[in-house]
């Protein structure tokens, strides 16, 4: 929650020798965070951010209270000045000017008072000036007082034109689904039900409580008698209404943070004083106050050793009490056990010993605490962690010239296959689904780079999300990539080299699939398991590949124990064959490999039209092969290729 606090206004409640710069710096270290100071003439305005648990500090007075606790730790004098009230006030649960029925589950404290004979006009200068400093536009004295009090104390108030409340009667209840109300900004809402509303003696809805007043009961320029209205509401109900109707106001934001019921009477008294002073109205003697469960002092217990253990320090009881007292807490020690009485304005925030530790620590100063790494046993490492493997893949591919990309897992409908998970509240059509394939994302990235002048290779490691019944989706980590303007064999060689680098066995099988050119796609196999695919896409001259990384990591390793390096040298020779058209050279090579155990290795080293030159390594582990030995193997190769593939040796 953000709030602007003018220094001049703060000084009405805080006596201090701290400069605005001091205040901003020291409070930021120990309490509300002052993001910046702006100047308004001689005045400084603190732009302050207050965390949602500290609604008690979202006001000039609350800020002053924090300052009074924090500044002395920095050697500055600071004293919180009490709020002053003019006269005596009588709170009573029945008054003759208003007949009410209140559901106290919805409204924990209900106060109202009738102010007679008000004069509606401009506010006096001192109010206008302050409102302008906090970037509010002065409107008239009635509205300005509401804003003024809300800013000063953090308690919203509301005003009705008393004469518009039919039968001087109010019933505060839950709305029924479909009920309608027109609010004072002229918007009509059909209520979802369960909202806090007030109906009058003629069963008209006159207030959408905590959000905005009804138009039919609003104060206007002819208003004579004002019903001043200060409440605390069930925060969950307010929040629900505010969210479903998408209506947020400063008041609703405060109400949904669960306000302090004790602050209601303070705000009521302040408001009456201001109304009498500024509108010349006269307040009724009795203030209506329905407060069935008044605040009973809450205590939280802890002990000295717990506090010190949590802080890693060695504070004494006095240090601790001195931190807590200026914040409104009362500490009672019994030996080393502490019973802490919590003031009403912190009752909803302080529940457990850890909360006390926080208060002590921040006032003592986090900057005063030591800094030490923990000792103790180390946890066990994950066995077979996926991260090392993924890093290895990335290193190899980028080493081979690949550029790693990150694309969004949220994709448009055109990017998915079959059924994919859909978002309930996407930011737009482009990011409506969780992808269940990498292909579309990588293809899209490649096409976006089609202006790139050189051939390129991009890749990504990321999850795809496969829906599963009654469970979270299966998040499958994939490696996917595209070669653009690459020669097929160069691209394929990169993938082969990757698999060799990570020591995996692999083979290829032709298999057709949608989106790939016919006869241009290969399944990548590890034994009988398919681990990935590789092939040319139909459009844009792109070659795509992908792997299921977990499968890849798990499957067949090439490392099969130590093998002695060959004792006897290999005989190496190049053989060139011409083949009929449409011969699959991959099959030829497989065939040569399987022909004789003494063929240790074969590589394709050159091609020209229909001619292919193979380099063959002949090797026997037990002896050096003679020319005669080699000749007999060569003959086998030649006759095999001739009979099986119709090849001619050149």
Q: Which residues in the 391-450 window bind another protein by CB under 8 A?
A: 391, 394-395, 397-410, 421-427, 431, 434, 444-445, 448-449
- Alpha-carbon dihedral 565, 566, 572, 575, rounded to 10 degrees: -90
Q: Which of 206/363 has CB closer to another protein? A: 363
From residue 592, how far is each of 377, 613, 620 by CA, in Å? Answer: 58, 13, 16
Number of residues that bind another protein (CB under 8 A): 89
- Give the torsion sign (CA, 498, 502, 507, 508): negative
CB contact set of 204 (below 8 Å; sequence gap of 6+): 166, 214, 216
Interaction mask 331-360, another protein, x per CB under 8 A: ---------------------x-xx-xx--
Among 92, 126, 452, 568, binds another protein (CB under 8 A): 452
Shorter beta-carbon distance to another protein: residue 95 or 405: 405
Interacting residues with another protein between 302 and 321 (CB under 8 A): 309-313
Least spacing, CB of residue 545 vs another protein, in Å: 15
Q: Which stretch binds another protein (CB under 8 A): 28-36, 172-180, 559-567, 598-606?
A: 28-36
Residues 188-227 that bind another protein (CB under 8 A): none
Q: How far apart are CA 166 and CA 217, in angstroms?
A: 9
Sites for another protein among residues 593-622 (CB under 8 A): none
Closest CA to 336 of 306, 304, 313: 304
Residue closer to another protein (CB basis): 114 or 393: 393
**Per CB under 8 A, does 364 bind another protein?**
no
| Shorter beta-carbon distance to another protein: residue 241 or 265 | 241
Token representation of residue 556: 């067949």
The 3-class SS string of 229-278 reads: EEEEECHHHHHHHHHHCCCCCHHHHHHCCCCCCHHHHHHHHHHHHHHHHH
Residues numbered 474 to 533 that lie near another protein (CB under 8 A) are: 475
Q: Min. distance of Cβ 53 from another protein in angstroms?
A: 4
Half-sphere exposure of 188 (CA within 13 A, CB side): 4
463 binds another protein (CB under 8 A): yes
Least separation in angstroms between residue 554's CB and another protein is 17
Tell whether residue 383 is a contact of another protein (CB under 8 A). no
Helix (H, G, I), strand (E, B) or coil at 461: strand
What is the nearest approach in angstroms of another protein to the Cβ of residue 336?
A: 17
Strand 169-174 with 99-102, pairing = parallel
Candidates 143-151, 456-464, 537-545, 573-581: pick the segment binding another protein (CB under 8 A).
456-464
Closest CB 71 distance from another protein, rounded Å = 15
Q: Which is closer to another protein, CB of 188 or CB of 425?
A: 425
Dihedral of the CA atoms 419, 425, 431, 436 (nearest 10)? -30
Under the binding rule (CB under 8 A), the answer on residue 456 touching another protein is yes
Alpha-carbon distance of 442 to 468, in angstroms, equals: 24
**Residue 392 CB contacts under 8 Å (≥ 6 apart), including other chains:** 502
Site for another protein in 223-282 (CB under 8 A): 235-236, 239-240, 256-257
As a whole number of Å, the CA-based R_g of the chain is: 40
């Amino acid at each position: 929650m953000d709030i602007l606090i003018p220094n001049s206004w703060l000084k009405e409640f805080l006596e201090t020798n701290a400069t605005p710069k001091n205040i901003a710096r020291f409070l930021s270290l120990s309490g509300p965070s002052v993001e910046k100071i702006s100047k308004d003439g001689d005045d400084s305005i603190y732009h302050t951010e207050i965390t949602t648990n500290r609604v008690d500090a979202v006001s000039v007075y609350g800020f002053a209270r924090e300052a009074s606790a924090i500044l002395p730790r920095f050697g500055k004098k600071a004293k919180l000045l009490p709020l002053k009230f003019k006269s005596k006030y009588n709170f009573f649960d029945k008054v003759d000017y208003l007949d009410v029925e209140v559901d106290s589950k919805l409204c924990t404290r209900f106060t109202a008072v009738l102010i007679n004979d008000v004069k509606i006009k401009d506010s006096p200068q001192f109010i206008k000036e302050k409102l302008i400093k906090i970037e509010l536009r002065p409107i008239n004295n009635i509205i300005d007082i509401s804003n003024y009090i809300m800013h000063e104390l953090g308690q919203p108030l509301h005003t009705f034109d008393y004469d518009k409340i039919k039968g001087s009667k109010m019933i505060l209840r839950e709305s029924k689904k479909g009920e309608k109300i027109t609010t004072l900004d002229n918007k009509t809402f059909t209520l979802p039900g369960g909202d806090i509303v007030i109906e009058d003696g003629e069963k008209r809805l006159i207030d959408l409580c905590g959000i905005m007043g009804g138009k039919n009961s609003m104060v206007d320029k002819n208003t004579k008698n004002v019903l001043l209205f200060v409440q605390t509401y069930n925060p969950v109900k307010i929040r629900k209404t505010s969210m479903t109707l998408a209506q947020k106001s400063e008041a609703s934001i405060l109400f949904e943070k669960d306000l302090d019921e004790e602050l209601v009477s303070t705000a009521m008294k302040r408001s009456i004083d201001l109304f009498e002073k500024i509108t010349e109205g006269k307040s009724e003697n009795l203030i209506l106050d329905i407060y069935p469960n008044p605040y009973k002092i809450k205590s939280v217990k802890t002990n000295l050793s717990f506090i010190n253990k949590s802080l890693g320090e060695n504070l004494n009881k006095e240090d601790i009490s001195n931190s807590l007292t200026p914040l409104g807490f009362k500490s009672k020690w019994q030996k080393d056990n502490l019973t802490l009485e919590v003031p009403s304005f912190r009752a909803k925030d302080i529940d457990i010993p850890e909360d006390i530790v926080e208060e002590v620590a921040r006032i003592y100063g986090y900057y005063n605490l030591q800094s030490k790494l923990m000792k103790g046993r180390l946890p066990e490492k994950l066995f077979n962690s996926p991260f090392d493997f993924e890093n290895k893949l990335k290193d190899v591919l980028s080493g081979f010239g690949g550029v790693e990309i990150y694309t969004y897992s949220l994709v448009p409908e055109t990017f998915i296959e079959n059924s994919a998970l859909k978002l309930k509240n996407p930011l737009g059509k482009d990011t409506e689904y969780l992808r269940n394939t990498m292909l579309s994302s990588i293809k899209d990235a490649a096409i976006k780079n089609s202006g790139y002048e050189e051939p390129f290779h991009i890749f990504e490691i990321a999850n795809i999300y496969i829906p599963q019944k009654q469970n979270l989706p299966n998040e499958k980590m994939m490696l996917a990539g595209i070669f653009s303007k690459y020669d097929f064999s160069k691209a394929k060689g990169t993938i082969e080299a990757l698999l060799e680098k990570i020591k995996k066995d692999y083979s290829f099988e032709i298999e057709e699939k949608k989106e790939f050119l016919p006869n241009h796609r290969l399944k990548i196999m590890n034994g009988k398991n398919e681990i990935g695919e590789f092939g040319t896409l139909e459009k844009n001259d792109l070659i795509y590949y992908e792997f299921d990384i977990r499968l890849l990591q798990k499957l067949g390793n090439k490392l099969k124990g130590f093998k002695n390096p060959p004792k006897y040298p290999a005989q190496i020779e190049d053989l060139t064959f011409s083949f009929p058209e449409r011969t699959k050279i991959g099959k030829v090579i497989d065939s040569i490999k399987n022909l004789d155990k003494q063929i240790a290795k074969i590589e394709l080293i050159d091609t020209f039209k229909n001619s292919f030159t193979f380099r063959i390594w002949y090797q026997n582990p037990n002896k050096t092969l003679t020319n005669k030995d080699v000749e007999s193997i060569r003959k086998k190769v030649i006759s095999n290729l001739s009979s099986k593939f119709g090849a001619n040796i050149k």
